[in-house]
Each structure stands twice: as C-alpha cells, then as structure tokens.
Structure 1
Amino acid sequence: MAPQHAHFAQHTTPVAAPAHVVYGLLADAPNWPLLLPGYLHVERMDLAAAPGEATEEHLRTWHLHTGHVRSTRTRRLLRPADRAIDFEQSDTLLPGAPLRGTWTVRPQGPARCLLGLTHDPPAGTPAPDTRAEADQVAAAAERWESLDELLLSFEDSTRIHGPAEAVYDFLHRIQDWPELLPHVEHADVREDQPGIQFATLDTCATRTGTTLTTGLVRLCFPHAARIVYRHTTVPALIAAHSGEWYLEPEADGVRAVSAHRVMLRAEAAAALGPHAQLTDARRHVRAWLGRTGTETLNLARWHAENAVRRLR
C-alpha cells in the first residue's frame, strides 16, 4: 500500500524484544485492550487465506478517542514471512475513503528489532499520531519476558432457570447495582450513545474493608446477550482489566458467564506485603474478581428465577 498523499506519515522505533514477539503482538488484535491504551474491544469478524503466504482478516474495533467511543472496521493482510501487516481502516459512522497503512518488523539481533508504522490517510485528512501508536506497541512488547506471569484469564458461570431477557436486564442496569449488589456502594453512569455506558463504581474491597473507585466503559449488545467492558481506572494491583458478561441458551434457561482478562502490575506482589510473590497476587486477583462476578451472577439468577415465579 504505497503512499499517495501529502499527509503520508511514517515512524520507526527500536524495540528491546525479538521480532517474532513484536509481530505476534501486532497480529493478535483481540488482545490489544489489555496491552495498548485506548482500545476497549476488538473482535475478529473473519479470517481467510490470501494469495501466497498471507492471511486476510476483518476486525471491528472500539476505542476511546477524545473521551468518546469510536468504532472502526479494518481489513488486514498479515504477511508473517515478511513480518508485515497491511491495513485499511474505515470509521463505521463516517463514509469515505479508508485510512491505509503498514506495520513492519525488522530483526536487529536475537532480542531486538525495528518497528515501523506508515499511515496513508485520504486526501485532506491528517494522519494519526504515528509515533505514539508505534511507541505504545514498543512499550507493550518490551515486557515480553514477564507477560506470561502478568497475564491471566478466567471465567465463572452459573445456570439460570429463567429468561435470558431478565438476566441481561439485571446485568445491563448497572446504575441500580448499589441497591442490588452488596459489594457495590455507589454508581455514576451515563449513556450518551445507545449501548455505550460510561460508569464509575465505588466497591468494597473485602480484604481491607476499604472502598475502591474504578471507571469503566461498557459496550452492550442486547441481541447477542453480551456486555463487554474495559476498565479505564483500575486498582493498584492491576495494570489493565477487560471482561465480558455473556449468556448461552440452554434447554431450560441460560448459562450466564462472567469472563475476565487481567494484566497485573509488575509490582503487584509488593502491595500484598513484604513476603508476597507474584503467584500470591495472581491468586488474590483471581479470588477477588471471581467472588464479585459470582455474587453478581447469583443475584441475577435470583432476579430472573423470581420473575418466572411471579408470572406463574
């Protein structure tokens, strides 16, 4: 995808990580909300073989831009043999020519590489901040040696003998959670666009009894019975946290799931005490988030199953 316009921009930055690690981070777009600031959610719509050794994929991406949620559709051509990814990105709400660009990764030894990004925007449109995007990827990749220890994902579920609509309604009404959930003390919620909730929650930390204030953005998909979220402010132990509530139909009701994906801070263990290890921090976060998620699912079950009883 060659440059065509005067606003063409490019940036190259050295990265203290192997080339295959950096390319893998770029290729694994659904994982970006944990690793790159501003990304809320990325969904891979489809993936297909392309001519040669390339793979073509289509993504739907939600991200924060000047305090608002933007959604884009992206077509990418992944060329692993060249360690390059070409892309065309279009705003889902604004018609017009797509933003084109290319990521490249060039090895500079066993544990170093050069990361390049070019942007070729439509005529009359300024290029995004090419340097900032490349530097964010470089910063994430340079944690490669500790990522396996810092990343964790898990889910909890419960079976509910009630209608999916009632369960989803409970999970969607986050503004009512202070009256419904014991661990939620206060909630400020605004929904400027249908299905996009900005929330600030005060919750009780069971271990210390203190109040934690966190911010999050929630993307609500009622027809798919899903609510995807990413925290914008997080507790001291956590560097990034994204999650999802989703419902799976069953013969006599639904299976309701609370899923979490977390990246711990490198210094997370120190927050638990002088003798704590990172494994202790992992266990603590797993138990804490699992407990609050399960409590929410259990109360959603009570709400839905009692709604059924009232109708009988």
Structure 2
Amino acid sequence: MSVERVHRMSYAVDAAAPAGALYTLVADATQWPLFVADTVHVERLDFDGAADRYARWADVDGELRRSLVRRTLDAGRRSVAFSEERPGAPVTAAGGSWSVEELAPGWSRLTLEREIVLGGRSPEAERVIASVEKGDRAALAGLRTAAERWRRLDGLLMSFEESVRIEGPAEPVYAFLYEVGSWPGQVAHVVDAEVTEDRPGVQRTRLVSLADDGSEYTTRAVRVCFPAAGRIVFKRTRPHPLLAAHAGEWSVEPDASGVTVVCRHEALLDEPAVERILGPDADLARARRYVREVLGRESRATLAPATRDAGDPVRTLRSV
C-alpha cells in the first residue's frame, strides 16, 4: 500500500518595489506569460472580485502542462491562497499561498508557501518536487524583476491587435494559421520554419524572419491550438530581439457571412536592447512605435495568404 507524503516548501524574495506593485503582479496571473519564464498562457475562467479560477499552461522540463487553479484574493492583506484542481499523479493534492509584506517604503517581501501531497515515495515523486521548486524560484525571480521596474513598467508593456475581415469560411483560414510549416514562400517575411508537435495541437515552432534591413532573425514559440474554438494561443520563448517577452493569440471569429481574424499581441520591451538595436538616441517611445509597426506588419503579412485561400475546401483539424 502506498502511503501519502506531505511536502512543504517556503521561499521568499525581497524586492526594491512598493508592496502594492508587487501584489498587483501576483494577483493578475493573466500577465504571467510576460514575467514568469515557464508560463505560456493563463486564461481566467471565473472571477467574482474576491475569488477566481484559471487554467495555466506551463512549459515544465520540456513538457507543456495544464493546471486548473482556484484562488482567493485578499487585497487588504496582500495575500492570495490557491489550490490546484485534479493535479496529475503522483501528486494527489497541491495548494499554498502568496503573501506580500511591506518592509520599508519602496521595499517589500514576496513569500510563497506551498504544500504538495504525494502518493508515496518514488523517483517520479522526487522529480516532481525538484521541478516544482525550480518553477517556484523562477516565478519569484520573474515577479521581483517586474516589480522592481514598476516606475517604468507601463512604458515597457504593450498590448495591441491586428484584424482582417474575410468573406469566406473559417476552416481554411484556421488551417493556414495552424500549418506554420507551410508559411515559407507564402508569408512575405518568413524564410524558414520548423514545427514539432508534442502532441496534437501543442506545437513548438522555429521561424526565421527577415528584418527591415534584410538581415535574418530567429524566433521560437510554444503554441496551444483549440480548433473547435478557432483559437491559437502562443508564447515566443525566443522573441523579437527588441522584446524581453511576447505572447498572444490568433482567433478566427465566424459570423453569418464570413470571419474576422484577429491577432492579439502582449509584449514586454527589453529596455537594454533599445539603444543597442535602434541607436543611441532611441527612447522607449520610438521602440514602442517600432515594435508596433513590425509586429503589425508581420501579422498582416501572415493573414494575406489566409485571406487568399479562404475559399479552399474545408479540412479537418485535430483537437488538443
């Protein structure tokens, strides 16, 4: 008979940031793809102001894992209690809390307490513990780094979208967006593409693109595809050289006479790269304009072949 074992972990980091700024980053998990290295996508499923429930996709040791998490948020105490629904074996239960303490004006401490119940002792259980500890420490470091830029963070964050209206069926449009390997030769800026699938609908991509000056740059991404919903969410694990992080979503939204295709972008500028790439006189405003122009142009170029092929026969796609 297997005996359950409880493993408790506690970590803390101090940040040169106000407690309120640090708590805001912890509470808004939807932005974690920009701040937490292993987080690919977070989708809030329910929220009533004091409690929420979300799905999180994380790239853990080369494997994309999905978890469902319930949280209770207490802004007054700057604490967030969480529990994971139906964790995967050998974990039988998982939960804990985040808390933010003000140490002094402009200084705060972020503490993460976690408890994992494991179904006995095994090599797999030990790997799970090591993986969780690695992810937790990376999350603390990422949130601290973001919080310490709190004065400039609004200028570093970008959120925008490109859309196009297509008079045609949704299926071939979605199929083109799904089949990244076919983009070279069809999408103007893409000169090479490699795609692997961890499992149906979970893709890892490597794209080589042309910059404005004709040079090439490489991006890598993890994509999670939802054919039934007409959605593909992505995080570039190696983003454009001017960005520290980049995530987003393609969505194909049908109506009675056609579809609207939207590409949404969430990005975090890499501040040290601005002067190096754009020149000594460049500032954040110029970098924002540049990134907006480049990503917008690339999105429109990607949609051009999809628009052209909208009349192709319907193809069946695999579901995640």
Task: State if a TM-score over 0.5 links the two structures.
Answer: yes
User: Would you say 1:74 and 2:69 are equivalent positions?
Assistant: yes
| Residue number in structure 1 paired with 2:8 | 8
SS of equivalent residue, structure 1 residue 162:
coil
SS of equivalent residue, structure 2 residue 191:
strand
Mapped to 2, the partners of 1:215 and 1:92 lie a distance apart of: 29
RMSD: 1.9
Mapped to 1, the partners of 2:86 and 2:238 lie a distance apart of: 26
Mapped to 2, the partners of 1:273 and 1:227 lie a distance apart of: 35
Deviation of 1:135 (Å):
2.7
1:187 to 168, 193, 198: 193
274 and 132 in structure 1: CA distance in 2 versus 1, 3 angstrom threshold: closer
User: Would you say 1:225 and 2:247 are equivalent positions?
Assistant: no
Deviation of 1:132 (Å):
3.8
Mapped to 2, the partners of 1:112 and 1:200 lie a distance apart of: 40
User: Would you say 1:242 and 2:239 are equivalent positions?
Assistant: no
* Residue pair 2:37, 2:139 contacting (<8 A) in 1 also: no
User: Would you say 1:35 and 2:57 are equivalent positions?
Assistant: no
Mapped to 1, the partners of 2:281 and 2:138 lie a distance apart of: 38
255 and 93 in structure 1: CA distance in 2 versus 1, 3 angstrom threshold: farther
* Residue pair 2:6, 2:116 contacting (<8 A) in 1 also: no
Deviation of 1:168 (Å):
0.3
280 and 132 in structure 1: CA distance in 2 versus 1, 3 angstrom threshold: closer
User: Would you say 1:146 and 2:152 are equivalent positions?
Assistant: yes
Mapped to 2, the partners of 1:74 and 1:131 lie a distance apart of: 19
Gaps of 5+ in 1: 50-54
Deviation of 1:6 (Å):
5.2
* Residue pair 1:197, 1:218 contacting (<8 A) in 2 also: yes
Give the letter aligned to residue 235 of structure 1: H
* Residue pair 1:71, 1:91 contacting (<8 A) in 2 also: no
Q: How does 1:19-168 map to 2 (within 5 A)?
A: 19-48=19-48, 55-90=50-85, 94=89, 97-123=92-118, 124=120, 125=125, 126=129, 128-129=132-133, 130-168=136-174
Mapped to 2, the partners of 1:293 and 1:189 lie a distance apart of: 19
* Residue pair 1:244, 1:259 contacting (<8 A) in 2 also: yes
18 and 122 in structure 1: CA distance in 2 versus 1, 3 angstrom threshold: same
Deviation of 1:235 (Å):
2.9
Deviation of 1:149 (Å):
0.7
Mapped to 2, the partners of 1:236 and 1:104 lie a distance apart of: 34
Give the letter aligned to residue 226 of structure 1: R
| Residue number in structure 1 paired with 2:257 | 252
Deviation of 1:133 (Å):
3.2
* Residue pair 2:168, 2:310 contacting (<8 A) in 1 also: yes
Give the letter aligned to residue 61 of structure 1: R
Tell me the alpha carbon deviations over residues 283-305 of structure 1, each in whole angstroms, 9 at most, x when there is no partner. 01100110010111122111104
Mapped to 1, the partners of 2:236 and 2:87 lie a distance apart of: 23
| Residue number in structure 2 paired with 1:52 | none
* Residue pair 2:6, 2:117 contacting (<8 A) in 1 also: no
Mapped to 1, the partners of 2:186 and 2:299 lie a distance apart of: 13
SS of equivalent residue, structure 1 residue 108:
strand
Deviation of 1:160 (Å):
0.4
Mapped to 2, the partners of 1:91 and 1:69 lie a distance apart of: 16
| Residue number in structure 2 paired with 1:276 | 282
132 and 197 in structure 1: CA distance in 2 versus 1, 3 angstrom threshold: closer
Q: How many residues align?
A: 299
Deviation of 1:112 (Å):
1.1
274 and 226 in structure 1: CA distance in 2 versus 1, 3 angstrom threshold: same
Mapped to 2, the partners of 1:168 and 1:15 lie a distance apart of: 43
Mapped to 2, the partners of 1:7 and 1:94 lie a distance apart of: 15
Compute the TM-score of the two structures, normalised by the length of structure 1: 0.91
